[in-house]
Chains A and B, each alone.
Chain A
Amino acid sequence: MKKLATLRSSMPTSARLLFTLLLTIVALGITFSLTALDDSKLAGGAAIAIVIVGLSWLIGWSGQVSLGNSGFMAIGAYATAIWANHHATTPVVFTLLLATICGAAGGLVLALPSTRLRGPYLAGMTLAFSFAITPLALNFPSVTGGSGGLFLNFLSAPKWFANLFSGSQALIRANAQWSADVAIVVAAVAFFFMANLFHSRTGRAMRLIRDNDVAAELTGVNLQRTRTLAFVISAAYAGLGGSLLTLLTGSVSPQTYSLPLSILLLTLMVLGGIGTLSGAVLGGLIYSYSDNLVSLINKVTGISSASTFGANLKGIVFGVLLILTMLLAPRGLVGMGGRLLSLVKRRSAES
Chain B
Amino acid sequence: MTETTQPILTLDVEGVSVRFGGLLALSDVSFSVAANEIVGLIGPNGAGKTTAFNVVCGFLAPSSGSVRFPALNAENLGPSQLAKAGIARTLQGVGLFDHLTVVENVMAGAQSRPGGGFLAGLFGLPVSSRRERALLGEAMTELDRLGISSFAKALPGGIPYGIAKKVAVARALMGRPRLLMLDEPASGLDESELSEFAQLITQLRETMSVLLVEHNMDFVMPLVDRLVVLDFGQVIASGTPDEIGTNEAVLAAYLGVDQ
Contacts and interface: CB of A to CB of B under 8 A. Distances in A.
Contacts of B129: 10, 12-13, 199
Interface in B85-141: 88-89, 91, 95-100, 103-104, 107-112, 116-118, 120-126, 128-129, 131-133, 136, 140
Interface string B53-76: 000010100000000000000000
A229 B149 CA distance: 33
Given A5-B152, A218-B83, A220-B80, 14 more contacts: A7-B152, A16-B124, A196-B123, A200-B118, A200-B120, A204-B104, A210-B99, A217-B80, A218-B79, A218-B88, A219-B83, A219-B111, A219-B171, A220-B82
* A2, A204, A214, A220 pick with most chain B CB within 10 angstroms: A220
Contacts of B151: 5
Given A5-B149, A12-B129, A201-B128, A218 B107 contact: no
B112 to A, nearest CB: 3
A267 B175 CA distance: 40
Contacts of A12: 129
B118 A202 contact: yes
B128 A200 contact: yes
Interface residues of A, number: 39
B97 A207 contact: yes
A221 B78 CA distance: 11
B4 interface: no
Interface string A202-228: 111101101110111111111100000
A212 B82 contact: no
A4 interface: yes
Interface in B166-205: 171, 175
Interface of A: 1-5, 7, 9-10, 12-13, 16-17, 192-193, 196-197, 199-205, 207-208, 210-212, 214-223, 229
B153 interface: yes
B84 interface: yes
A9 B123 CA distance: 18
Contacts of A7: 103, 136, 140, 152-153
Nearest to A219: B111
B11 to A, nearest CB: 16
B150 interface: yes
Contact of B150 (A4, A16, A203, A215): A4
Nearest to A211: B97
Interface residues of B, number: 49
Contacts of B95: 212, 214-215, 218
12 contacts: A2-B150, A13-B129, A199-B124, A199-B129, A202-B122, A204-B107, A207-B99, A211-B100, A215-B97, A218-B95, A219-B112, A221-B80
| Secondary structure dominating the interface of A | helix
B150 to A, nearest CB: 6
Interface in B230-246: none
A220 B115 CA distance: 13
Contacts of B121: 196-197, 199-203
Interface of B: 57, 59, 79-84, 88-89, 91, 95-100, 103-104, 107-112, 116-118, 120-126, 128-129, 131-133, 136, 140, 149-153, 171, 175
A13 B112 contact: no
Contacts of A205: 111
Nearest to A226: B80
Given A200-B116, A221-B80, A215 B111 contact: no
* B99, B107, B131 pick with most chain A CB within 10 angstroms: B99
B86 to A, nearest CB: 11
B122 A193 contact: yes
Contacts of B126: 13
* A17, A199, A219, A221 pick with most chain B CB within 10 angstroms: A219
Given A2-B150, A218-B88, A204 B108 contact: yes
Contacts of A211: 97-100
* B91, B122, B131 pick with most chain A CB within 10 angstroms: B122
Contacts of B97: 207-208, 211-212, 215-216
B91 A214 contact: yes
A224 to B, nearest CB: 9
B5 to A, nearest CB: 33
Contacts of A229: 118
Nearest to B78: A217
B149 A4 contact: yes
* A17, A218, A220, A222 pick with most chain B CB within 10 angstroms: A218
Contacts of B91: 214-215, 218
Contacts of B118: 200, 202, 229
Contact of A3 (B83, B128, B150): B150
A287 to B, nearest CB: 26
